[in-house]
A and B are shown apart, each in its own frame.
Chain A
Amino acid sequence: MSVNRLVNKFEYALFRHRTLVIIAFVAATIFLLMKATTIKLDAAFTKNIPLQHQYMQTYLRHAQDFGGANNILVSLCDQNGDIFNEGFFDTFRKAHDELLYTSGVNRVLVKSLFSPSTRFVEVVEDGFAGGPVIPADFVANAAGLAKVKENTEKAGIVGRMVADDYSCAMISAQLLDVDPETGKQIDTIGFANTLEQNVRGKYQSDTISVHIIGFAKMVGDVAEGAKGVLVFFAIAIAVTSIMVFFFCRSLMLTVLPIACSLIAVIWQMGLLSVMGFGIDPMSILVPFLVFAIGVSHGVQMINSTGKRVAAGMDAKTAAQASFRKLLVPGGVALLSDTVGFLTLLIIEIGVIRELAITASLGVAVIILTNLILLPVLMSFVRFSKSYKERASAPSPKIDKVWYGLSAFATRKYAAVILIITAALFAFGYMQSQQLKIGDLHAGAPALHENSRYNQDTFLITDRYAISVDYLNVMVETIPSACTEHSIMAKVDRFQWLMENVEGVQSTVSLASVSKSINAAFNEGNVKWRVLPRNTQSLVQASSRVETSTGLLNADCSVMPVILFLQDHKAQTIERVVAAAKKYGSELGDEQTQFMLASGPVGVMAATNEAVAEAQQPMMWYVYGAVIILCLLSFRSMRATISVILPLYVVSVLATALMTWLQIGLTVSTLPVIALGVGIGVDYGIYILSNMSQMLRDGTGARQAYYEALKERGSAVLFTGITLAIGVSTWVFSALKFQVDMGILLTFMFIVNMLGAIVVLPALAAFLWRKD
């Protein structure tokens, strides 16, 4: 009983110096509020990457030579469907220069019709001639444009730099991780804004449309959409406040838990800022979640205090008693949440780790604000006579409802409930096995299908042969490998085998380009589209390709095979990666290895694998943590089973729901499972902590459950519904991933609550037999 003594001591100290406590809280809040206002949206490409993953090791090893996966495609389209006019070329050149001089862009890798590295070759009687696609003396008149069109065809860049139907032209660029001028991390969101203003803003017109895609732009759009979260936040505060008011019928009791929960949010943001973190657009909902959890615990506190005041205690005694009564179950519940969120740290992806830190910090702060500050504040409340009368008035109708519900704790009903639960579990389990890892839809999954970004993505994929959905298989081999026929032939065959894999749209590598060049050297005769066995000829064919093409490094010991995919759906990636591994191991040897993977889809493949690998251990850890905390606080195996079992069934059902709604397990949905468990456990702990003493004393399950319902039932029901309403508003979010999270969390809040008031008593009925 040392915990009790400790709680008592703490309670005594706290309430004796309550003014001091409040002053301390106010001071801390002011300080952290100032810090919180400086917090910034922060998104870096590398945060989204599982850096420890084998693929990403390959990616990082070659990022220096080949650039990364953080690219930007800007496509300008002529509204009349033909780019060969003066106005278009004028605008296009300006847009090219604009991108070239935007800070953060790797200037060497800016490519378009206007870059000097865009060249063509043509065959003439005595050899072949070539030059830049846009000649130095280019004038945008009919003759000049006709020349450029001719050169474009000769250069073989239709489908890559120019749309298949000549309606658009492309500028591609890569972003640096660190700005070489300032030495600082590139501000991705700032860069996206610059693109929007300086490229789309300036060059979009009635005749020319601008389409921009790439990671940075996507993050920028997500950040833009995330601003809408403030509206949801306001709605949630309003809805919650009204609900709390109807629950307690007291203005003061409404303001206090809401205020304390807001303080928790301020502390969380402030602490993040102090620790040097920004807030990632992907975890922008976390403060909202913290608020919701805070209210849920605050309501338990005002409920408990209100009931005691109604029973005749004065405010201070009632607040003190509630503190004593709720510190342990509330603390355990919140600690479970904290630990649940911390388990996300095992996933080696920056954004998820930040989410883990952000969320666990927020929840830990609630222990201070809503379990300590709130009761202290409550002790100052003067309860009006009318409140006391209203609260103490017997409520036979409600009690009748509670008594009816308590039948769940009788064997007869319990058996039915458990059978239904088992059936649901079995069904859910089967469904959950079908859960797909990764994105299940084309376009950027964080955004809606009809969002500007995704529309741009579809347009570019539609009109060009390429997209941002590409995966590079890095062929790591010996220096000067591009002069060895045997190695180049391997690369060529690998490329061909991969091109035949479903989902691969087109491919390019040094081998395929060398074959074209060899044909060009032989009078443009396609029958010479081969890799010459003769070293001299092979050198001639491959040395024409510059390293800036991204097809080889300086000594051609590394040559990527670039696979452009139709989309980045989980299945597509899985299929392509599996094929690349199979063919890579068949064709590879000690000298030449086909290494996965770079490029945006390489990153996705690594992320999908990291998420898939993390799923099981994360569940083990989160449940492990919750079980240990339950065992410690209840000191009872039966109690732990009663709390955990319904929770697990809900986790499985949530996974089944994901399968059913075609929500893939991704960086943004994976945390929901952990969050759901962490939050869901609260209900069970509150109900069971009230029942456990009576059960231990030999009271029957039904009686114990009835008493618990009378004491906390309304608060549990209320909390579940309030939280669910709050998160369900996310369904209207501009961001697809918030919609997904909203649906899943609403489900988890409601069903976990049902689990606690329906399945938990049924389990109790069997676990505690009345002797």
Chain B
Amino acid sequence: MRRTIICLTAIHAMFFATTVAAETVDNQPQTSDIAILAEKALLTDITAIGDQILVAVGERGHILRSQDAKNWVQATVPVQANLNSVYFVNKQQGWAVGHDASILATQDGGVSWQLQHFAPQVDKPLFDVYFFDSQHGIAVGAYGLFYRTTDSGKNWQKEFHPEVLSEDDQDYLQQLQESDEQMYETELGAILPHFNRLYADGNVLYMAGEAGFVAKSIDNGLSWLRLDEFYNGSLFDITRTTQMSLLTVGLRGHAFISDDQGMNWQQVALTESATFNSAFSDASGRQYLVGNAGVLLVSDKTGKTYTDYSQPDGKAIVNGLIWQGQLILVTKVGIKTINLSELN
């Protein structure tokens, strides 16, 4: 099966090569439009800087900032690509990544943003970004897209991590490198799974991705060890619960728990069939699972049993956080705020 996918993607790539040249104007970054509906349009990630400020990112280069989760101010952003993730390493420095391999950076707590990396010709989105300190960080995305910086993002170097591939695929690549240079180059851009989410658990870095992919690294992401496959569907988030288990969630209502650092996984019994996009917890130990079709599951303090608080509008919830007694969600239709007292 992997072979057929490879062949198909090769054909993709050939088409791709012929069309890139025709789209030159389209390849320039354009400043995002300031729009009143930005806070009601697709938002994909949200983070809190300290206790005071929230920053959310979303489609069309939208970055919103708020001090009260009610009034949102849209930042002027030098790119219109959809943004998928935002991360602040301290109160001032943050990065946002998204489509067209865009990487944006801020030095002033999210008020103004500069474009550090923009590569539409790569034609792949970045899905997550993480910084170990204010200088060192990585950004990951579709088809194993992987960038690293050691200078706060002034320069981003591409990395390729074939170590996460199966032995078969690694052999195939090696053969190809010797026999067909061009095909080999093409495969490099397509053979890896999507890297959907990074999670730093102390000194261990976890990464969840396409088709049951979970890997971990103990050297800041320089080398990765793929965990044994326990599910063939895509995983979109991985986190540690307050009860110290690892939790990963993904396609069609699948969630798995591991109590032994990822050696063995047990599926969490849920009746939900929509895809989970993210998982996060609050201080009291309650676990929140959010996903497509308005799915919102909240666990009790033991993290074992879930109650269904799915939203009636059925709009995908992409991520969220707990902030000042409120559950703040980023959804397909923008910001949604739910008072925690309503979830009992």
Contacts and interface: CB of A to CB of B under 8 A. Distances in A.
Contacts of A433: none
Interface stretch (A203-211, A313-321, A491-499, A627-635): A491-499
A497 B16 contact: no
Interface string B10-21: 011001101100
B16 A493 contact: no
A496 to B, nearest CB: 6
Interface string A524-567: 11111110111111000000000000000000000000000000
Contacts of B44: 526-527
A500 B37 contact: yes
Contact of B251 (A125, A493, A527): A125
A154 to B, nearest CB: 8
Contacts of A489: 26
Interface in A474-489: 484-486, 489
A484 to B, nearest CB: 8
B227 to A, nearest CB: 19
A357 to B, nearest CB: 48
Contacts of A123: 251-252, 275
B26 A524 contact: no
A125 B33 contact: no
B23 A486 contact: yes
A125 B252 contact: yes
B234 A523 contact: yes
A529 B16 CA distance: 19
Contacts of B99: 530
A523 B211 CA distance: 10
A130 to B, nearest CB: 15
Contact of A530 (B11, B22, B82, B332): B82
B233 A493 contact: no
Contacts of A98: none
Contacts of B251: 123, 125, 523
A124 interface: yes
A124 B253 CA distance: 11
A158 interface: yes
B36 interface: yes
A530 B126 CA distance: 13
A153 interface: yes
Contacts of A496: 33, 35, 41, 60
Contacts of B41: 496
B343 interface: no
B275 A527 contact: no
A533 B275 contact: no
Given A123-B251, A496-B33, A530-B99, A153 B60 contact: no
Contacts of A530: 59, 81-82, 99, 125
Interface residues of A, number: 28
Nearest to B26: A486
A252 B125 CA distance: 92
Contacts of B25: 486
Given A534-B12, A535-B16, A525 B314 contact: no
Contacts of A523: 234, 251, 275
B15 A526 contact: no
B123 A526 contact: no
B217 interface: no
Contacts of B318: 526-527
Interface in A433-491: 484-486, 489
B84 interface: yes
A484 B20 CA distance: 11
A532 B11 contact: no
Contacts of A535: 15-16, 18-19
B127 interface: yes
Interface residues of B, number: 43
Contacts of B277: 525-526
Contact of B332 (A484, A526, A532): A526
A536 B37 contact: no
Contact of B82 (A124, A524, A527): A527
B332 A536 contact: no
B12 A536 contact: yes
Contact of B293 (A125, A153, A493): A153
Interface in A66-120: none
A477 to B, nearest CB: 14
Nearest to A490: B26
A124 B123 CA distance: 25
A153 B314 contact: yes
Contacts of B100: 533
A529 B80 contact: no
A532 B123 contact: yes
A532 B124 CA distance: 9
B285 interface: no
B125 A527 contact: yes
A486 B25 CA distance: 8
B131 interface: no
B236 interface: yes
Contact of B120 (A158, A484, A499, A533): A533
Nearest to B45: A527
Interface in A495-533: 496-497, 499-500, 523-530, 532-533
Given A496-B60, A527-B84, A535-B15, A125 B35 contact: no
Nearest to B23: A486
B42 interface: yes
Contacts of A485: 19, 23, 26
B232 interface: yes
Contacts of B316: 526
Given A123-B252, A534-B12, A534-B123, A526 B42 contact: yes
B67 to A, nearest CB: 24
Contacts of A529: 42, 59, 82
B281 interface: no
Given A485-B23, A486-B26, A537 B12 contact: yes
A525 B42 contact: no
A497 B332 CA distance: 18
Interface in B1-56: 11-12, 15-16, 18-19, 22-23, 25-26, 33, 35-37, 41-42, 44
Nearest to B41: A496
A123 B82 CA distance: 22
A536 B15 contact: yes
Contacts of A124: 252
A493 B33 contact: yes
A524 B125 contact: no
Contact of A158 (B60, B84, B314): B314
Interface in A382-418: none
Nearest to B35: A500
B93 interface: no
A528 B293 CA distance: 16
B248 interface: no
A354 to B, nearest CB: 43
Contacts of A536: 11-12, 15-16
B292 interface: yes
Nearest to A527: B84
Chain B CB count within 10 A is highest, among A125, A523, A526, A532, for A526
Smallest CB-CB A-B distances: 3 pairs: A486-B26, A536-B15, A500-B35
Given A496-B41, A527-B44, A533-B100, 20 more contacts: A123-B252, A125-B233, A153-B314, A485-B19, A493-B80, A496-B33, A497-B35, A500-B37, A524-B275, A525-B236, A525-B277, A526-B277, A526-B318, A527-B125, A533-B26, A534-B123, A535-B18, A535-B19, A536-B11, A536-B16
Interface of A: 123-125, 153, 158, 484-486, 489, 493, 496-497, 499-500, 523-530, 532-537
30 contacts: A123-B251, A124-B252, A125-B233, A125-B251, A125-B252, A484-B22, A484-B23, A485-B26, A497-B33, A500-B37, A526-B42, A526-B277, A526-B316, A527-B84, A527-B127, A529-B59, A530-B59, A530-B81, A530-B82, A533-B23, A533-B100, A533-B123, A534-B12, A534-B16, A535-B15, A535-B16, A535-B18, A535-B19, A536-B11, A537-B12
